[in-house]
Chains A and B, each alone.
Chain A
Amino acid sequence: MAVAFAMIGRINRRNVIADPAADPGRLGGRFYEEESGGVVTYRVRRLPLALVASFVAGNVSSLLGIGGGIIKVPVLNAWCGMPLRAAAATSALMIGVTATGGAVIYYGHGDLRPLLAAPAVLGVQLGSWSGSRLAENTSVKWLKLLMAALLAVVAVLMFLRSAR
């Protein structure tokens, strides 16, 4: 809930520098952004905070079975200087690699059912394809609002579930 308010409080702040020649630093980067109409640069700040947030995200996602991205993306965006789109892409890439570690163990133990995995994978594939198309054409302001709303809904749902 607190993170949702942090997102809304920073709704009009952008982490990108419109100058493509600006120095992105060791971990920053550049990418083409439709919304800004050109190549933008960003720098990464507060790396230790990202480490702590990822540690918390890992614990929470294992304990509660929710995706760690819901914690990492807002933290990377609100406090570590990453643009929302870059934060979303980074989080997805991280989760892809780390989730493989767990999935391989399930697969090795024969706990993975290909017939159940197939429709799930196809659905996610279709959703992420259309989602990334949609994100390109949506302003960051709306993406942040969506993120904040999603965080608020998850917070309320978890609260209701624990109260029952």
Chain B
Amino acid sequence: MNRLERTIGAVLRSGTVASSSLFAVGLVMALTGYRDALAGVLLEAGLVILLATPATRVVVSVIEYVRERDWTFVVLTLVVLLALGGSVAAAYL
């Protein structure tokens, strides 16, 4: 595995572990009614991390392809990033 694959693997793994843990703890707290407000915050954080993980993966790819001077893939990945940015804009503007 090269540096790009290892970094992407680390990003995806930490993102899924973090969001799943938050979801699991938040879900148990919400169902048992233990500190409802905090449970809501944990679930919300899990959701945000889950959504941010693939986006972070794309950002990491752009950076790594620039490092490798692989301009074809820099352009391709930037197009994907632009599309993701477009949906963020569509959601909040």
Q: How far is the CB of A4 from chain B (nearest CB, A)?
A: 30
B74 contacts A by Cβ under 8 Å: no
Contact sample, A vs B, 26 pairs, CB 8 Å cutoff: A96-B54, A96-B57, A97-B54, A97-B57, A97-B84, A99-B54, A100-B84, A101-B83, A101-B84, A104-B87, A105-B90, A105-B91, A106-B91, A107-B51, A108-B88, A114-B26, A114-B43, A115-B27, A115-B30, A117-B50, A118-B24, A118-B46, A121-B23, A121-B46, A121-B50, A125-B20
Interface residues of A in 91-127 (CB under 8 A from B): 96-97, 99-109, 112, 114-115, 117-119, 121-122, 125
- Known A-B contacts: A118-B46, A122-B27. Give 12 more (CB < 8 A): A97-B55, A97-B57, A101-B83, A104-B91, A105-B87, A105-B90, A108-B90, A109-B91, A114-B26, A115-B43, A117-B50, A121-B50
On chain A, the residues within 8 Å of B46 by CB distance are 114, 118, 121
- In the complex, which residues of chain A have a beta carbon less than 8 angstroms from the beta carbon of B27? 115, 118-119, 122
Enumerate chain A residues within 8 angstroms of B64, measured Cβ to Cβ.
none
Q: Given that A97-B54, A105-B91 are contacting pairs, would A122 and B47 also be in contact in the complex, using a CB cutoff of 8 Å?
A: no
Q: Closest CB-CB distance, B55 to chain A, in whole Å? A: 6
CA distance A107 to B30 in the complex (A): 20
The smallest C-beta distance from A80 to any residue of chain B, in angstroms, reads: 17
Inter-chain contact B43/A100, CB cutoff 8 Å: no
Task: Tell me which of B20, B23, B47, B83 contacts A107 (CB under 8 A).
Answer: B47
Q: A96: which B residues are within 8 A, CB to CB?
A: 54, 57
Which residues of B (4-23) have their CB < 8 Å from a CB of A?
16, 19-20, 23
Q: How large is the interface on B (under 10, 10 to 19, 20 to 34, 35 or more residues)?
A: 20 to 34
Q: What's the dominant secondary structure at chain A's contact region?
A: helix
Question: By the criterion CB–CB under 8 Å, are B84 and A121 in contact?
Answer: no
Chain B residue at minimum C-beta to C-beta distance from A120 = B23
Give Cα A114–Cα B40 distance, bound, in whole angstroms: 8
Cα of A117 to Cα of B27 in the assembled complex, Å: 10
- CB-based closest 4 A-B pairs: A108-B91, A114-B43, A101-B87, A118-B23
From A99, A100, A107, residue with most partner B Cβ within 10 Å: A100
A114 and B54 contacting across the interface, CB-CB below 8 Å? no
- Residue among B19, B50, B58, B92 with the most chain A CB within 10 A? B50
